Amino acid sequence: MSRRRTGRAVINRQRRDRLLRQLRVRDGDDCRWCLQPIDFDLPREDPMAWTFDHIQPHTDGGTYTRNNLQLMHGTCNHLEGRWEQLARKWRSE
Protein backbone atom coordinates (compact mmCIF):
# COMPACT_ATOMS: atom_id res chain seq x y z
CA MET A 1 0.00 0.00 0.00
CA SER A 2 1.59 3.21 -1.09
CA ARG A 3 -1.35 5.49 -0.41
CA ARG A 4 -0.48 7.87 2.39
CA ARG A 5 -2.96 8.21 5.21
CA THR A 6 -2.66 11.47 7.09
CA GLY A 7 -5.70 10.77 9.27
CA ARG A 8 -7.12 14.18 8.44
CA ALA A 9 -9.69 14.68 5.73
CA VAL A 10 -9.23 17.74 3.55
CA ILE A 11 -12.13 19.65 2.07
CA ASN A 12 -12.10 22.98 0.37
CA ARG A 13 -13.47 26.12 1.94
CA GLN A 14 -16.48 26.36 -0.35
CA ARG A 15 -17.60 22.84 0.46
CA ARG A 16 -16.96 23.40 4.17
CA ASP A 17 -19.07 26.58 4.21
CA ARG A 18 -21.90 24.83 2.38
CA LEU A 19 -21.86 21.90 4.81
CA LEU A 20 -21.83 24.32 7.75
CA ARG A 21 -24.92 26.11 6.41
CA GLN A 22 -26.74 22.81 5.85
CA LEU A 23 -25.93 21.55 9.35
CA ARG A 24 -27.07 24.80 10.98
CA VAL A 25 -30.38 24.54 9.13
CA ARG A 26 -30.77 20.91 10.18
CA ASP A 27 -29.52 21.01 13.79
CA GLY A 28 -29.60 24.70 14.79
CA ASP A 29 -26.66 26.56 16.32
CA ASP A 30 -26.11 24.42 19.41
CA CYS A 31 -23.21 22.09 20.12
CA ARG A 32 -24.35 18.44 19.86
CA TRP A 33 -22.24 17.48 22.86
CA CYS A 34 -22.86 20.18 25.54
CA LEU A 35 -26.02 21.64 23.92
CA GLN A 36 -24.77 25.21 24.44
CA PRO A 37 -24.88 27.70 21.56
CA ILE A 38 -21.82 27.97 19.35
CA ASP A 39 -20.38 31.39 18.49
CA PHE A 40 -19.70 31.07 14.77
CA ASP A 41 -17.67 34.28 14.70
CA LEU A 42 -14.85 32.91 16.84
CA PRO A 43 -11.51 32.40 15.08
CA ARG A 44 -10.81 28.79 14.05
CA GLU A 45 -8.00 28.45 16.62
CA ASP A 46 -10.27 29.32 19.56
CA PRO A 47 -11.05 26.19 21.63
CA MET A 48 -14.75 27.11 21.58
CA ALA A 49 -14.87 27.68 17.81
CA TRP A 50 -17.12 25.35 15.79
CA THR A 51 -15.83 22.07 14.38
CA PHE A 52 -17.29 19.24 12.35
CA ASP A 53 -17.68 16.08 14.36
CA HIS A 54 -17.78 12.84 12.39
CA ILE A 55 -20.57 10.61 13.70
CA GLN A 56 -18.69 7.65 12.24
CA PRO A 57 -14.99 8.59 12.45
CA HIS A 58 -13.39 8.91 9.03
CA THR A 59 -10.61 6.65 10.27
CA ASP A 60 -13.39 4.01 10.44
CA GLY A 61 -14.60 4.79 6.94
CA GLY A 62 -16.94 7.66 7.83
CA THR A 63 -17.39 10.16 5.04
CA TYR A 64 -17.29 13.94 4.89
CA THR A 65 -20.98 14.23 4.12
CA ARG A 66 -23.87 15.99 5.81
CA ASN A 67 -25.39 12.74 7.11
CA ASN A 68 -22.19 11.82 8.90
CA LEU A 69 -21.45 15.24 10.42
CA GLN A 70 -22.65 17.28 13.36
CA LEU A 71 -21.46 20.56 14.87
CA MET A 72 -19.52 20.81 18.11
CA HIS A 73 -17.29 23.22 19.97
CA GLY A 74 -13.64 22.35 19.38
CA THR A 75 -13.23 21.53 23.07
CA CYS A 76 -16.31 19.30 23.13
CA ASN A 77 -15.25 17.51 19.97
CA HIS A 78 -11.90 16.78 21.62
CA LEU A 79 -13.56 15.54 24.83
CA GLU A 80 -15.98 13.40 22.87
CA GLY A 81 -13.09 11.79 21.00
CA ARG A 82 -11.29 11.13 24.27
CA TRP A 83 -14.47 9.67 25.76
CA GLU A 84 -14.87 7.33 22.78
CA GLN A 85 -11.28 6.13 23.19
CA LEU A 86 -11.91 5.34 26.86
CA ALA A 87 -15.20 3.60 26.11
CA ARG A 88 -13.45 1.41 23.50
CA LYS A 89 -10.74 0.58 26.00
CA TRP A 90 -13.26 -0.35 28.72
CA ARG A 91 -15.24 -2.52 26.32
CA SER A 92 -12.11 -4.40 25.29
CA GLU A 93 -11.04 -5.14 28.89
Residues that bind Zn ion (CB under 5 A): 31, 33-34, 73, 76
CB closer to Zn ion, 54 vs 73: 73
Sign of CA dihedral 29, 65, 83, 50: negative
**Looking at beta carbons, which pairs linking 83-87 to residues 24 or more positions away fall under 8 Å?**
84/57
- What is the nearest approach in angstroms of Zn ion to the Cβ of residue 76? 3
Alpha helices in 28-71 (DSSP H): none
Number of residue whose CB is nearest Zn ion: 31
- What is the nearest approach in angstroms of Zn ion to the Cβ of residue 69? 15
